Each structure stands twice: as C-alpha cells, then as structure tokens.
Amino acid sequence: MQKHKLSFWQLWNISFGFFGVQIAYSLQSANISRIFATLGADPHSLSFFWILPPLMGMIVQPLVGKYSDRTWTRFGRRIPYLFLGSLIAIAVMCLLPNAGNFSFTFTGAMIFGLVALMLLDTSINMAMQPFKMLVGDMVSEEQKSQAYSIQSFLVNAGGVVGFVFPWLLAWFGINNIAPEGQIPDTVKFSFYLGAAILILCVLFTTVKVKEMPPKEYAQFHGIDPDKKEEKAPGMLELLKKAPSTFWTVGLVQFFCWAAFLYMWTYTNGAIADTVWNTTDVTSEGYQTAGNWVGIVFGVQSIGSVLWALMIPKFKSIKTAYVVSLLIGAVGFASVYFIHDQYLLFVSFLLIGVAWAAMLAIPFTLLTNSLSGSHIGTYLGLFNGTICLPQIVAAACGGLILKLVGGTQVNMFIVAGVLLVLGALSVYFIKTKKEGR
C-alpha cells in the first residue's frame, strides 16, 4: 500500500521537537571544550572528553531503534523514548555547568563533569533518534528528501538558538567571566534556558503527532500482518544483511564526522589564539572567544539552513553530496588563514554547506534502501557511522595535534582534508534499492 501524501505542516510537526533537542545538543557542542578547559583540562587532552558523547550514542541509539521497533503503546512507538530521553536531558542540563561549584577538587570536578556529560549525551541520543525514525515510519520515499530537509532546517534553527545563547546573555550584561575553576554565568543560564525550551518542543510533538497503529503501519510498509511473526533477527544478523548503501554511506560518514569532531573540539582554542591572541583559559579574551564560538557555529547553522533549500534542486543526490562536502572543506581550510572575527563568518557559512548535506542526504539514501520491518534498528545501527568516527578522531586528537605542531588552528587543515576524502568516497555509493 502506498503511503499517503503528508502536508507540509504534518512533516513539520513530525520533526518540530528536534528543534528543542538540537538546542541542547548545540549547547553541548559549543561549550564542552570551553567547560573542561575552564575547569583546567590540558589542550592535548581535550579530545578525550569527546569520546564519551559518541560512545554513548553508539550504545544507546541502536537499543532505542531495536526496542522501539517492538514497542506499541497508546502514545506511539517512538514518542515514549524521545519523551523519557528529554526529561533526563533537562535534569542533566541544570547540573553539568555547575561542575565547578560543588567544592570539588580538580579531579572531583572532572569526574562530575564527565559523568554529567555521559548522562547528557545518553539522554540527547535517546531523544534525538526517534525523530529520524518517525520520518522513516510515516513518510513516503517521494517525500523523504523534503521531510529530512525540514528536519535539517529545524536542527539548524535550533542550533542557531543554542549557539548564540552565551553571547546574547553576555550582551544583556550577564557575567561572562568566573573565578578560576568555575563556569561563567552566561554558560550556566544558557543551559537552563535550553532545558526549558526542550521540554516545550517535545511536548508539542507529543501532542501533535499520532503514530500509526500496528495494522496501518504494516500496510504502509508492505508487511503482511497475518504472517506468523518470526523471532526478530539480532543486530549482528541484520548487519550481515545490510544493503551496500549502509556501508558505502558509512564510509563517507567516517571522514565527515571525524572532521566535525575536530571543529567542535578545537574552535575555542583556535580562534582565541588567532583572533584574540591568547591561550590563557582564565583570560577575558579566551571567554570572549568562547562566546564567539557560539556565534560562528550559529552562522554555520544559517549556512546549513540556506543550503538545505538547495539540495533538492540537484538532479543527482550524489552530486549534491560531493559538492557540499568540497565546499565545506574549503571552509575548514580557510579558518587557518583568518585573523578577523567577522571574516570567520565566511568560513563557517561554507562549513554549514557540508553540515546540511550530512544531516539530510545519508538518511535519505539509507531509508530508501530499506524495507519497513527493521527501519528503527537499522537507523540505530547506522548511528555507529556517526559515533565511531568521532570516537576514533577523539582518541587520536591529542596525537594528531602534536604531529601538526600543537597549534589548535592546524586541526582545521586536518578537518578540511578529511572532508575531501569524504567527497571522494561518495563515488562508491550505489543508490539502487536492494532486494527489489
């Protein structure tokens, strides 16, 4: 049975809660290195703090996919997971920026921060993954590109809001510096605001979106509801049967997500050095650079929003992928040469082009190659192609930083090279739906 055509606002409602989840994720992305550096972490060890978020994502998202595939409640199959994940995220967002305020020793503050970060990313992943699955569940192949583009728009709009919060609060006069070992109020209040918006957005999606009951879902996905249910295959078995698209898109993902991991890790230190001429984390210049990280990341999100409108206009989705990644590579490399805070806008607009493609194109390619019976599990497993490269990149970050001279801005050249490798890897993707 062909899925019915959804209106624009139905597609919008399916993904709207992602706006709030992305605010939380953006606050984490823009401020984690700043938080741990302010607490006293060495730059060469910063990347190690970024191992936990993707590690938790790689564990949590396949489990959410697997168990939500089997969940049928009056609230839906995916929505209960995103609601529970959001509640946990809200609690942790109020705790994490206070890591330096509980009279901990340096070691105690670091451990508290790491545990809070682990819980935050676990809950964000738990809330994030169902939105991708809802599109796979409820949207036809013909509308998936539009649906994921809308999702990309909301993700980037949420990103802009989350990224600019610290700068905006500083502009309103909230204190942007703090005693040694403590986090500035601009960061703390940003996390509190993000938590409030998150719960409102998730409640909106919970009220507006009604998931399909089992019989309707089976009809829409061509599953025989009368067929005797066999024992669900394990994740390893599903991986063995995964279409080649899963693996070839995963190869592209490896290079792309490693590149962005280095951006998130080193932007604060890089632009503090190249624009504000300081590496002292207690200085006003470093904390001002920390706020500016949110601004340039917000510019990146704006670039992503604009480019997301262009992606559907390409005749070939693979061509859109290649062009987007190469433009992003130019953006990364250009950061090395720029010493003006406003010229950085150009670099991050270009980086946003690659980000837009990374948010929309891989899931369109993958879900179009899958049948409906195990979409959630496959999307959860596919998250490994997002998390694993970040874990590898984080584990190698300190060594690579040392090899490129110990200057954090040099990591942007590394990120640019990685995106070029990702663009070259698009050649291996086959878009034909397998098994048909």
- Residue 280: other Cβ atoms inside 10 A: 10
Q: What pLDDT was estimated at residue 73?
A: 77
Residue-wise pLDDT tens digits, 345-370: 999 999 999 998 998 888 788 877 77
Write a three-state SS string for 310-368.
HHHHCCCHHHHHHHHHHHHHHHHHHHCCCCCCCCHHHHHHHHHHHHHHHHHHHHHHHHC
Arithmetic mean of pLDDT, 9-36: 87
Domains and CATH numbers, the chain: 8-223+244-428 (1.20.1250.20)
Is residue 412 helix, strand or coil? helix
Binned at pLDDT 50, 70 and 90, residue 210 comes out as: confident
- Whole-number pLDDT of residue 435: 41
Hey, what amino acid is at 167? Answer: W
β-pair partners for 435: none
What confidence tier does 378 reach under pLDDT thresholds 50, 70, 90?
A: confident
Q: Report d(CA 124, CA 127) in Å as an integer.
A: 5
d(Cα 179, Cα 425) in Å, to the nearest integer? 47
- Name the residue among 397, 1, 431 with its Cα closest to residue 219: 1
Instruction: Give 398-436 pLDDT, tens digit per residue.
Output: 999 999 999 999 999 999 999 999 999 999 987 655 444
| The pLDDT value given to residue 49 | 79
Q: What is the pLDDT of residue 396?
A: 93
**Higher model confidence: residue 288 or residue 128?**
288
How far is Cα 191 from Cα 24, in angstroms, rounded to an integer?
Answer: 7
Question: What pTM was computed for the model?
Answer: 0.76
Closest CA to 264 of 35, 36, 47, 98: 47
Sign of the alpha-carbon dihedral angle for 149, 370, 20, 182: negative
State residue 235's pLDDT score.
67
Q: Is the pLDDT of residue 1 over 60?
A: no
